[in-house]
Amino acid sequence: MARRGRKPAWLRLAAGAVIAVAFTIGFAAAGLIAGLDHTVRSRFEGVRFRVPSRVYGAPTILYPGLDWRRIDLPGALARLGYRAADTAIALPPGQYVWSGQRARIHLRAFSHPSRPEPARDVVLRLDGDLVSAIRAVPSGEELGAVLLEPEPLGAYYGPAHEQRELVRLAEVPPHLVDAVLAVEDQRFATHSGIDFRRIAGAMLANLRAGEIRQGGSTLTQQLVKNFFLTPERTLQRKLQEAAMALIVEARYDKDEILESYLNEIYLGQRGATAIHGVGEGAHLYFGKPASELGVAESALLAAIIQSPNGISPYRDPKRATQRRNLVLDLMLEQGRLEPDAHARAREESLHLATVTPDANDARYFLDLLRRQLAETYPTEVLTQEGLRIYSTLDPRLQRIAAESLRQGLESLEKRRPALARQGDAALQGCIVAIRPQTGELLALVGGRDYRHSQFDRCTQARRQVGSVFKPFVFVAALEPWRGPPVITLASRLDDTPFEVKTPSGPWRPANHDRQFHGEVGVRDALEQSYNVATARLAERVGIGRVADVARRLGVESSMPKVPSLALGTAEIAPIELARAYATLASGGVRPTTQTVEDVVDGEGSVMEKRRLRFERVIDAGTAFLATSLLEGVADRGTARSLRAGGLRGPIAAKTGTTDEERDLWFVGYTPDLVAVVWVGFDTPRGLGIPSSVGALPIWRSFIEGATGGVVRGAFPKPPVIEEAAVEPGTGALALNGCPERREEYFLAGTLPTAVCPDGGGEADSGGLLHWLRGRL
Amino acid sequence: MSRTRLRLSRLAPLLALLATACALVPTSAPAPLHLGDLANDGDPTRRASQRLVLDGLRADAQNESERARGLYQRALQVDSGNPYAYLALARQSAAQDEPELALEYVARAEDLLATEVNRSPGADAHLDGLRGIALTQTGETVEGEALLERAAQNAPDVWGDGRLDAEELR
């Protein structure tokens, strides 16, 4: 007898199977959801965005007396995204009004943990090219100096090559949020991650169109897709997206999701770099921070989200305007915009920033900095953690240096077609500039075109330096060393045939003009760059001491202690020469080369600050004498063509051309700026021109651009320097009655003992005083 | 005779003025330097640089030392040969117990002051005092204290307490 109510075995089996399957599916689903939840949490609670580190240049400082045209103030404002306004009434930060002799600028705040600058509304009174006064608005307080925020130079990208500037939701203007919500997800505040009404509407529209035209994704779904998923349109991916959107909404509040979305959304390209987030998007399209966007600009940014490249206002302004207006209409319809604001915004034309690809002018500098920073910061930190690196580079000088080098090389090739590109071997060059008193690196162009060659010839190449080494010989001879110096500026040198025995045979230096000049003055020897006189002097001083002086001044490369070192056979990097000459320019004090002022992390804390450092390596008097000698080179010697274009003011300089004209050098300095120019081929071959033709014009162009053609200041004369008249032909102290005389500088206690005319004569009071002083 | 007397009487006010002037000529050390006194000296570049140094000293006085340092560096960006910016950096470094830096900055300030056309003699006490502090911090107490003593003798109002506050330099 069958038991009552007992179910058949097959039914029990089936029920068991169903329960087992249900459990299995349940477990699998739970596992899947747990997995998705883990993925979501690990992203949201870890490093949410990979933000490249940005490098900034030194800020521009405005002050009364500044030549605003020389520093290209309008250009600096444009590069920083300042916009000319029609009226100064209620002028917001980031805008200015320029009217004749008056520039009203509302300077933006500069955010920095330890040296922030507030936003400042100021009026610059202009007197011709000069700023005559700066006053705060509305107080009228006279200001001594104000700062423009530093210009961005570039960034260190990760493999994805994405750029973004993170913004906090509180910094985003409400109308930008409204514009995004109006067009992308109007029910964002109320849905739970999926908007079924929107999905239904999109399906209907797509059915009508017969193709997929609309998406039904919410902001949360879009964020999930961008964060975790691929762009493919499959059912499985859509289900995954929906599940993750629900998880995100369950775990995080709306503001957090919205802020993530605004920072993640793709908004177009700047060259090869993908622009993500409204912060970076605002810079790309409008050249300003997101916080300064107006209603129409916000609507345009929101309009672009759907298809940043298709609706690009640069490519298709008409289509972009239409879609912007659609966004504005939606904002009005949804009550997010007042009718009058809507009308005004619709009337606005597109005010777009000038599109500039990543400025490549500073790329060699960025590479140098990256190599230096890599000693402290791992690559992932540099490319993902959004550091702000405040560098010493002067963007204005950098542009001038890049332009001077480019034009200089092109001009050389035009005049001498033999120098033009032969296969891959293009004529190359580099230029590096340092502020001598502080050691701050101001400009660096390591080659002709970064896109073709990233090799930095100013910091990574070592080439024979030729005659730019000679000043080190003269410094060694002028410096008191265990007794009086070997020479004074009044000494006479021997420029007659000379031979030194070396292990590789006798060495017989010759002059460039293939002549010997007999007895020559110290100034003549350096001004005319006589090899023989210099080699003989190096022999008197000792080549070891010459190398020691070069080392103390800042040369780090190895220097073989052979007689020919005096004539520059050592291979030295241009940046080392810049440092060595900077030491002379700063009166014998060697500054530590600085490229970075400080580094701020993504959270806004200072990670590192670098201090100016100095070391006295040569006495101030000797450094001054060397500078005076090099001034002679610029005024009368091999670099005299510097003055041909009207360049005025104190300049000390030296030309250098190596054997067969393979390397052309020009090193020179003013009281505030040292610059080194090198020109040559990467694989050395003769150029057939001297440095005064190849390198000097590039240096001159750079300094003219930097100074406006008039170098200010003077090389300071230390108290240890005395002046006395000498007879140029003999170097004797010139008394009254001496037929020829020239004022000369001496270290105290080193005046000549011989007098002119021989045996005395009628001494003038100054000359006699010096003469007596020399004997006491 | 009467003519001579008349002449002397005419000269009397001049002589009195001369005597007063002589009495006013300082016979002791010059007054210590306050950088505010130099705010309007020099060319526009120096004046702008000097204003930035003064702003830096104000920030230093309010314990915003990093901001102050930034302003001193800006001052050097405008005029890299401004000795007073180095003096302010030296003061800050000494106050922050960074004697090596302080010594480098004092030396730099001293070098540049030596070549200044309108050198303020009141800077000497500050150079002595700051160098004295730094040397004392490095353990060279004999030399350091001797310099501090000299600074105190030459500028007792400022260096009497053996230190230089930002406000005192300003």
Q: Distance, in angstroms, between B107 CA and closest chain A CA?
A: 9
Measured between CA atoms, the residue of chain B closest to residue A717 is B115
User: Can you list the residues of chain A whose pLDDT is less than 50?
Assistant: 1-2, 357-358, 761-768, 771, 773-776
- Give the CA radius of gyration of chain B: 20
Q: Is there a contact between B92 and B105 (Cβ–Cβ < 8 Å)?
A: no
Residues of chain B contacting A615 with CB distance shorter than 8 Å: 104
The answer to whether the Cβ–Cβ distance between B81 and A438 falls below 8 Å is: no
- Bridge partners, A304 (sequence order): none
Which residue in A has a C-alpha nearest to residue B100's C-alpha?
Answer: A613
B77–A61: do the CB atoms touch at under 8 Å? Answer: yes
- Give the integer Cα–Cα distance in Å for A642 and A652: 11
Q: Write out chain B residues lying below 8 Å of A617, CB-based.
A: none
Of A63, A114, A115, the CB nearest to B48: A63
Tell me the two tokens of residue A718. Answer: 């230390």
pLDDT at residue B13 in the model: 53
A5: amino acid identity, one letter:
G
Q: In this complex, do A712 and B43 lie within 8 Å of one another by their Cβ atoms? A: yes
Strands (E), A158-218: 162-164
Nearest to B78 among A145, A611, A620 (CB): A145
The answer to whether A116 contacts B115, with C-beta atoms less than 8 Å apart, is no
- Identity of the amino acid at A536: R
How high does pLDDT run on average in chain B? 83
- Best residue in A115, A134, A606 to probe B by mutation, most B CBs within 10 Å? A115
**What does the pLDDT read at residue B167?**
87
B108/A contact by beta carbon, under 8 A:
yes
Q: Is there a contact between A587 and A624 (Cβ–Cβ < 8 Å)? A: yes
What is d(CA A58, CA A393) in angstroms, rounded to the nearest whole number?
Answer: 6
What is the three-class DSSP state of A6?
Answer: coil
Nearest CA distance, A587 vs chain B (angstrom)? 8
Residue in chain B lying closest to A435 (CA): B80
Q: What CA–CA distance (Å, rounded) separates A257 from B25?
A: 76
Contact B102/A at CB under 8 A: no
Contacts of A606 in chain B (CB under 8 A): 66
Direct distance between the N- and C-terminal alpha carbons of chain A, in angstroms, rounded to an integer: 144
Whole-angstrom Cα distance, residue A36 to residue A228? 10
Q: Where are the alpha helices (DSSP H) in B25-163?
A: 44-61, 65-78, 83-95, 99-114, 123-137, 141-154, 156-159
Asked whether the beta carbons of A36 and A246 are under 8 A apart, the reply is no
Nearest to B77 among A58, A587, A606 (CB): A58
Separation of alpha carbons A741 and A766, rounded Å: 13
- Separation CA A7–CA A11 (nearest Å): 6
ipTM at complex level: 0.79
Rounded CA-CA distance B84/B87 in Å is: 5
For residues A752 and A768, the answer to whether their CB atoms sit within 8 Å is no
Interface contact flag, B101 A59, Cβ < 8 Å: no
**In this predicted model, what pLDDT tens digit does every residue of A125-180 receive, in sequence order?**
999 999 999 999 999 999 999 999 999 998 898 877 788 888 999 999 999 999 99
From B54, which residue of chain A is nearest by alpha-carbon distance? A144
- Per-residue pLDDT band for B29 (boundaries 50, 70, 90) equals low
Enumerate the residues of chain B whose CB falls inside 8 A of the CB of residue A587.
Answer: 111, 115
By CA distance, what is A611's nearest residue in B? B101
| Nearest chain A CA: its distance from B157 CA (Å) | 29
CA distance A346 to A329: 9
Euclidean distance between CA atoms A487 and A475, whole angstroms: 10
Both tokens of B110, joined, read 């001293």
Cβ atoms of A131 and A122 closer than 8 Å: no
Summarize pLDDT for A82-91 with one digit per residue, the tens. Answer: 989 888 888 9
CB contact at 8 A, A710 and A646: no
Q: Which residues on chain A are in Cβ contact (under 8 Å) with B71?
A: 115
In chain A, what residues touch B45 (CB-CB under 8 Å)?
A: 63, 65, 712
Which of chain A's residues have a Cβ under 8 Å away from the Cβ of B48?
Answer: 61, 63-66, 144-145
Query: Across the interface, which of B48, B64, B105 has its CB nearest the CB of A145?
Result: B48
What confidence score (pLDDT) does residue A431 get?
A: 98
Q: Which residues of A are tagged catalytic?
A: 184, 467
**pLDDT at res. A214:** 66
pLDDT at A617: 97
Q: Considering the entire predicted model, what is its pTM? A: 0.83
pLDDT in tens, A553-600: 999 999 999 999 999 999 999 999 999 999 999 999 999 999 999 999
Q: Please give the pLDDT value at position A229.
A: 76
Identity of the residue numbered B42? G
What one-character DSSP code corresponds to residue A33?
A: H
User: How far is it, in rounded angstroms, from Cα A478 to Cα A540?
Assistant: 12
Q: How many CB pairs under 8 A join A and B?
A: 101
Q: Which helix (H) or strand (E) is A747 found in, with range? A: strand A742-747
Among B115, B116, B124, the strongest candidate for a mutation testing the A interface, having the largest count of A CBs within 10 A, is B115
- Asked if A114 lies within 8 A of B70 by C-beta distance, the reply is yes
Judge whether B43 is closer than 8 Å to chain A, CB to CB.
yes
The two beta strands, A663-669 and A652-657, are: antiparallel
Task: Report pLDDT for A760.
Answer: 56
Asked if A66 and B114 come within 8 Å (Cβ–Cβ), the reply is: no
Cβ contacts of A676 within 8 Å, gap of 6 or more: A431, A432, A433, A458, A574, A575, A577, A578, A581, A665, A666, A667
Q: Is B141 on the interface with A (CB under 8 A)?
A: no
Between B65-78 and B44-61, two packed helices, what is the crossing angle to 10 degrees? 170
Mean pLDDT confidence for B163-167: 89
B88 touches chain A (CB under 8 A): no
Put simply, the answer to whether B54 touches A59 (Cβ < 8 Å) is no
